Each structure stands twice: as structure tokens, then as C-alpha cells.
Amino acid sequence: MTLIIMGAAFCLSIAMLMLGGVKLQISVDIKYFVKYCYNIAMLFAYLALMRNMCRDKNEFIEKVFFVVKFTCIVCALGIIVPYIFSIGYYTYADRLGLRGCRGYFYSGNDITAIFTILLPLTIAYFLKSSEPVFSKKSLIPILSASLSIIALLLIGTKTAFIAVIGSSALMFLFTLFAIPKKGTKMLTRALALILVTLVLFALLGCIVGFDRLLFELHSSAEAPSQLAQSEGSEIALLSGRSYKLHYHVEKFLNGGVLAWLFGIGRSTVTSIIEMELFEVFIYYGLVGALAMLWLYVWLAVEFIKAFFKNFDIISFALLIGIGMTFGYLTLAGHVLFTVTSGQYFVLAIAFSRLYFAKSAEEAAIRPKLLCKLVKA
């Protein structure tokens, strides 16, 4: 039903633009819209799969974190190994030179978005574990978190640094506030994670040379301030997206009521804004935005309500991952209209539905208003 509503809104938008005499490249519009639909479809697919798995909730949670841990390790090694051997691609190749490493991933933004979602979860899993810190069962969880942190630093994007600092700092603060109830066990595990990360970082420095490692990290970290001094703070913070946004908004406003209701279409512009909430409103108008975003809004409201009723370290990690990704897709894009990082975003949302629900049936997506409309 959700995809039908979205498809109807998209077809209506295209029809109205064509009737208004707007020249469109239909294939471009369809491809862009299908990417968005893919993630919605994956949300329902993940939720159906998880509901089928969720007969024993503890066993289900372990299965999900098994996927999270090994995904983090594989993705992290996909950055670290190419970095060691100086193969793969740089994250940036611009007027400031070559910097950052994204391995063979499609873009630094895509892989950063994946880590932004998964890093808080893998940290939380290690911190909550009751296994001895340096036991075999703790090896994979601690490696998944440590390697992810190092990989994000090597990627070198602004959002990668924010993901590392934000996730690590917030999870560490959680351990401090948990001391009165949980004791120092969680704090000990947090300190162990810091220690292992530093050891692995030092090992990487020994392999590639500390001069190279520290120089390249410094170059990535200093790039925003250099851009701010030479080209302004907007370029440094948003990489020129506000200028593209201004152009798109102007085109949208000048389009009149037809554009306001049904958008200007993706193919009427040469490049996207890379700020996805704005893209939805501008490309598909108010009608399209309501059809495409209502589900995410409803899920966000449901998540917040459940979060305060079921507050623990896993729910806090979900809040960090999903919350930071929401900020990421608002300011940098590469989530809602991207099939790589987008499916991890909806995976986290689907998992949160099952994690907070008392039963698999309760986790189903059934907005009351939509159900009443369907019955009517």
C-alpha cells in the first residue's frame, strides 16, 4: 500500500509536469525514484524477515548483531587493507590534493553512512556483554568496533570524523551515567575498547609509517579549516550544497502552484542538491513529499515513544545511529536515494521495531489512520 501511494504520487507529479509543458528525461526521473522505493521495499522485507526470525527475542538479537559485527569488520578491512597497500581510491581529489581512503567503495559518503549507523550498535553490543573483556567471545565484538573507528578516521570526511567523535563520546558518557546502577563493569569494557583501538592504530602506524599515517589524518582533519579560510565557511561545512540548494529553491518557487504541489522533477536539473529532505520537497512537491515521507515520520514518532519506555544501551545506540543518519541525510544526502547505505538505515529501523516490540505481531507497520482508510 505504501509503495502504491508513492507510485501514484510520482505518476501524478510526472503527468502534471508534462501537462505544464516541462521537458523531462523520464528515464532519469524513474531511476532516481526507484532508488527511493528500493529502500522502502527493503524496510518491509527486513521487517518481514525479522518478524519470522523473532520467536526467541534474545536469539533474534544475537543473530542481528552477528550480521552487524561482521559487516563492520568486512567494511573496515575494505578500507584499511587498501590503505596499507596504497591501492583503491582516495576519498577526495580536489584543489587541496589527494586525501582520505575509501578503498574500492563507490563513495566515501556511502561507506561513512553505513558506519554511522552500525558503529554505535557494535560498540553497544561489546559494552553490554557479560563475557570477560579479553576472551575469545569478546574478540569479534571489540575488533568490529575498533576497526570501524580506525576505518572512519582513514576515510577522512567531515561526517566520518563526526561519526567517530559523536558515537564514541556519547557511548562513553552512557557508561559514566550507568555507574550508579551497573557499577564500573561497563566503564572497564569502554576503557578496554579505547586501549585496543589505540593498539591497533599503533600497529597500523608501524606497518605504514607513523609519518604517513599522521600526516594524512592531519590533512583530512585540517581540510575544512583550510577551505573555510580560502573559500568561506559554507564551502568548508556544506561543500557548496547551500548554493545548489538556493538554485533549486529559486527554480521551485518560480515554478508556481504546479511546482509547489508536484515539484520540478529530478531530470530538470543537472545535479542533485545532496540534501535529501530538500530534494524530496523540491523534486516531488508537497503532494509527493507527503506520500514519500509520511512513513519515515510515523516511524520516527513511534521510535521516540518506544525509546523512552525501553531505555537501555541498545536503544541508546539505535537513537545515536538513526539520529545521526537523519542529520547526515539532511545535510549531506546519500541515504534515502542510495541503495547501499540506505538499506542499512532501514535495517536499523526494522531492528528497532522488533527490539522495542513485545511480540513480532506488535512490530508490524500498521498506522491506524492508513488502516482505517484501507478498510473504508
| CB-CB contact of 291 with 6 (8 Å) | yes
Q: Is the pLDDT of residue 53 over 50?
A: yes
Rounded to an integer, what distance in angstroms lies between the CA atom of residue 345 and that of residue 331? 16
Mean pLDDT lowest among 99-103, 191-195, 230-234, 282-286: 230-234
User: What is the overall mean pLDDT for the chain?
Assistant: 90
Q: pTM for the whole thing?
A: 0.91
The residue written with cell numbers 521495531 in the block is 353
Q: Is the pLDDT of residue 91 over 80?
A: yes
Q: Is the pLDDT of residue 23 over 60?
A: yes
What is the band of 375 on the pLDDT scale with cuts at 50, 70, 90?
low
Question: Looking at residue 310, what DSSP letter applies?
Answer: S
Mean pLDDT lowest among 222-231, 288-297, 312-321: 222-231
Cβ neighbours of 33 (radius 10 Å):
23
Interhelix angle 26-53/2-19, rounded to 10 degrees, is 170
Q: What is the pLDDT of residue 236?
A: 67
* Mean pLDDT of the 300-329 span: 93
Summarize pLDDT for 167-208 with one digit per residue, the tens: 999 999 999 998 888 888 899 999 999 999 999 999 999 999
Question: Looking at residue 334, what DSSP letter applies?
Answer: -
Maximum separation of any 2 CA atoms in the chain, in Å:
68
Instruction: Return the higher-pLDDT residue of 331 and 373.
Output: 331
Q: What is the pLDDT of residue 376?
A: 47
| CB-CB contact of 316 with 174 (8 Å) | yes
Rounded to an integer, what distance in angstroms lies between the CA atom of residue 365 and that of residue 50? 13
Query: Which of 36, 113, 38, 119 lies closest to 73 in space, CA to CA?
Result: 119
- Please name the amino acid found at residue 120: P
What is the phi/psi pair of residue 332, to 5°?
-130, -10
| Size (the chain), residues | 376
- Please name the amino acid found at residue 356: F
Give percent of the chain above pLDDT 90. 62
What is the band of 368 on the pLDDT scale with cuts at 50, 70, 90?
low
| CB-CB contact of 196 with 204 (8 Å) | no
Query: Which of 130, 146, 78, 70 lies closest to 108 in space, CA to CA?
Result: 78
